[in-house]
Amino acid sequence: MPAAPCEMWFYHLERTGLDQALPELLEKTLQRGWKAVVRTPEPERIEHLDGWLWSYRDDSFLPHAPSDEPNAARQPVLLTTGFENPNGADALFLIDGAEPGELEGYARCVVLFDGADDTQLARARAQWSAAKGKGVPVSYWKQQARGWEKTA
């Protein structure tokens, strides 16, 4: 039986920034027993997230590493600018307009974009159209006062 196709979920950030939303979504991913890759085209974002994910909450941290660290393949969350999946992640998180590349092997691709940034909004729309054009199952999640709401 062939593997189910990767789903793409688009998260429209309107009420909080990436620093608040990403750790919450990564925690949910790890609670499922999944591993994650976080891809950005910006190397300085990796440096920021590497520190942030250790300290974003006083009572918690997310085990992670940049992809250039030793034993990166063993990490539950891997931060990268590359297109590889060395930790065998189930979920791919795209931030800062990162491109999805090949989605084979992933169960879910999560695109996080800032609704106040016209460039990110346009890129997310283009990624949505491209995914739909390829027959990739897509969902749209909008940030509401009570949390995330699936609207498409």
DSSP secondary structure of 120-136: HHHHHHHHHHHHHHTT-
Angstrom distance (rounded) from CA 33 to CA 46: 23
Angstrom distance (rounded) from CA 74 to CA 35: 10
Nearest-CA neighbor of 67 among 39, 99, 105, 26? 39
Q: Which residues pair with 97 in a beta bridge?
A: none
Task: Enter the tokens of residue 82.
Answer: 């590359």
What pLDDT was estimated at residue 1? Answer: 42
What pLDDT was estimated at residue 28? Answer: 95
Task: Enter the tokens of residue 92.
Answer: 């791919």
Helix (H, G, I), strand (E, B) or coil at 5: coil
- Maximum CA pair distance of the chain? 44
**Ranges assigned E (strand) in the chain:** 7-13, 36-39, 64-66, 77-80, 91-94, 108-114, 138-144, 147-150
7-150 classified as CATH 1.10.3720.10: no
Per-residue pLDDT of the chain (152 residues; tens, 9 = 90+): 456 789 999 999 988 899 999 999 999 999 999 999 999 999 999 999 999 998 888 887 789 999 999 898 899 999 999 999 999 999 999 999 999 999 999 999 999 999 899 999 999 999 999 999 999 999 999 888 778 888 87
**Between the CA of residue 34 and those of 30, 149, 152, what are the distances in Å?**
5, 22, 24
